[in-house]
Structure 1
Amino acid sequence: MKKFLLLSLTLILSITAVFAGGQKEDSNVIVIASDATWPPMEFLNEDKEIIGFDVDMLEAAAKAGGFEIKIVNTAWDGIFAGLANGNYDAVCSSVTITEERKASMDFSVPYINAGQVLIVSQDLSGKSTLADMAGMSLGAQIGTTGAIAISDAGNIELKTYDELGLAIEDLANGNIDGVVADSPIAADYVLGNDTYKSKLKIVGEPFTDEFYGVAVKKGNSEVLDKLNAGLKAVIESGERDELVNKWLR
């Protein structure tokens, strides 16, 4: 009986060692959760593969930082709870860095400003800022930071809509002079929609600060340091700007 118990214990320890060895081999793989429902940042293509700006950015950061990534499609509802529980190492899903979130999780360096941008007709030239649109009419979804920015400008006629798509349609039909929206959403309408991409364009740079970052579990400096090293290299090399032009311009 004692011999059997000893043999069983030895077998269990051997199995444990195998799994421990496997985990050690995979220690350079960062598992990242993403809710792939928000083009052009992260979404599924026809083959059900996760693609988008965030995906390309992560892959570039992994290559530059010398680590590997595995992206898992995860519903937004509960995505941060899963991070806190250790179900994955990080969350990259168009996550805005806020003081409230920083209290319960750590963030990488900001990798993009996803603030408000200006959408105008392809035919309009010489306009790239709100100041340039003085005396003209701009649309935005009601209650958004875009609508607030237009209102604060003071010398622009604001027209609000229940849905951003209605504002985009009005712009395409020539009923207003421009639309203000979050840069990723603007890119989805202007670049990803066959109806509008030949009629509309995004001009200028974001004029509000709404920075995205990769979230990691509070105190997980090992993962955070790897992500930061990779992201900084991609940003400094100019590769991030190339991805902006690919997905968001």
Structure 2
Amino acid sequence: MISRRTWILSLAASPLVLAACGNGTDPAAVAATATATEGAVDTSPEQSGRIAVEAVPEIAATVPQEIRDRGTLVIGTTADGNPPLGFRADDDTTVIGIEPDIALLVAGVLGLEPDLRATSWENLFVSMDSGQFDVGFSNITVTEERKEKYDFASYRVDTLAWEVAKSSGTTSIQEPKDVAGLTVAVGSGTNQEKVLLDWDAQNTTAGLEPVTIQYYAKSTDVYLALKSGRIEAYFGPNPTAAYHVLVAGETKIVGTVPGGGTIQADIAATTKKGDGLVDALAAALNHVIESGAYAKTLARWNLANESVPTSEINPPGLPKTD
């Protein structure tokens, strides 16, 4: 049975198509993708549309012996209400989203029973450090600083998006001058905050109006602020912006930016450095990429534009900041 929320997603497909056309994407191709995936975003706990894969013995054999003997892959993720990354299903208990889906594909290839554990962002890293979690799948961006403690196997392009009210006169945000004088919400301590602060500094140097930056603890507060006009734009992860546009139909995406601003970065499966698991993770990811299961999984969540051609081990990360 199709849930009411799935039905709403199907009806709201057109706003995402309009938003995606503004960043160099062929409108016809976008329309075709939307038609093919319309209604595929399922928020039921059963997740009947989730893509499954079979174990690949030669890849499974590369998993560290301790994990193979245990027979489970302990996966850390977050479910703090940021669909489609990781969030609760209609039963308010089951964790679903693109991050769990990719993690389950990897566990399937490795022949391991997935043990998916939702936690806070801060505890995710603490639990990997202590060995409580084997791997983290939680929209984790590769950075040079993080590479000192963790190994990475990439699986998505890190993309940020500018989201404004549908009624907004702002139609395009592509470079620093486009945000001069705007009131913008951004998450504290995030990569997007670093990008926004850099853009604001460039504007100040150029003699343009400064950005007024506001911080909100919850995404619901951000969208209330957008709706009321207290802020003019929200700068956040592209997946959450695209999903909100699709579901609510009250906002639009007017630009996307690489995760590092001018520097492209990757989202990656993350494991404790030197624990021997990263090679198996990358091999499993490359298998699902080649098999087509990866593309189908991204399409379920309307994130085909964030695909990577191959999974890389410890790719270049965002540089350290002073």
Superposition TM-score tier, normalisation by shorter sequence: 0.5 to 0.7
Residue 230 (structure 1) aligns with: 284
Counterpart secondary structure, 1:245: coil
2:75 matched to 1:32?
yes
Deviation at 1:54, TM superposition (A): 0.4
**In the aligned structure 1, how far is the partner of 2:305 from the partner of 2:252?**
11
Return the match for 1:67 from 80, 98, 111.
111
2:250 matched to 1:199?
yes
Change (3 A) 1:103 1:219: same
Residue 13 (structure 1) aligns with: none
Counterpart secondary structure, 2:131: coil
Is the 8 Å Cα contact of residues 166 and 251 (structure 2) preserved in structure 1?
Answer: yes
**In the aligned structure 2, how far is the partner of 1:24 from the partner of 1:162?**
44
Q: State the superposition RMSD in angstroms.
A: 3.9
Is the 8 Å Cα contact of residues 170 and 254 (structure 2) preserved in structure 1?
Answer: no
TM-score (norm 2): 0.54
Q: For 1:67-146, what aligned pairs fall within 5 Å after superposition?
A: 67-68=111-112, 69-114=114-159, 116-122=160-166, 127=172, 129-130=174-175, 133=178, 137-141=182-186, 144-145=193-194
Counterpart secondary structure, 1:72: strand
**In the aligned structure 1, how far is the partner of 2:69 from the partner of 2:180?**
62
**In the aligned structure 2, how far is the partner of 1:101 from the partner of 1:32?**
18
Change (3 A) 1:89 1:130: same
Change (3 A) 1:24 1:57: closer
**In the aligned structure 1, how far is the partner of 2:131 from the partner of 2:301?**
31
Deviation at 1:133, TM superposition (A): 3.7
2:214 matched to 1:161?
yes
Is the 8 Å Cα contact of residues 222 and 234 (structure 2) preserved in structure 1?
Answer: yes
- Number of paired residues? 220
Change (3 A) 1:109 1:134: closer
Greater shift in the superposed pair: 77-86 or 51-60: 77-86
Identity value in percent: 22
Counterpart secondary structure, 1:95: coil
Residue 44 (structure 1) aligns with: 88
Q: For 1:169-188, what aligned pairs fall within 5 Å after superposition?
A: 169-173=224-228, 177-187=232-242
Deviation at 1:57, TM superposition (A): 1.9
Counterpart secondary structure, 2:139: coil
Is the 8 Å Cα contact of residues 176 and 200 (structure 2) preserved in structure 1?
Answer: no
CA deviations 1:112-137 (Å, max 9, x no partner) are: 304x3111333568636247947773
Return the match for 2:102 from 57, 60, 65.
57
Greater shift in the superposed pair: 44-53 or 237-246: 237-246
Counterpart secondary structure, 2:271: strand
TM-score (norm 1): 0.67
CA deviations 1:123-156 (Å, max 9, x no partner) are: 5686362479477735234862353254256357
**In the aligned structure 2, how far is the partner of 1:39 from the partner of 1:142?**
13
**In the aligned structure 1, how far is the partner of 2:179 from the partner of 2:143?**
32
Change (3 A) 1:101 1:178: closer
Residue 275 (structure 2) aligns with: 220
**In the aligned structure 2, how far is the partner of 1:129 from the partner of 1:58?**
32
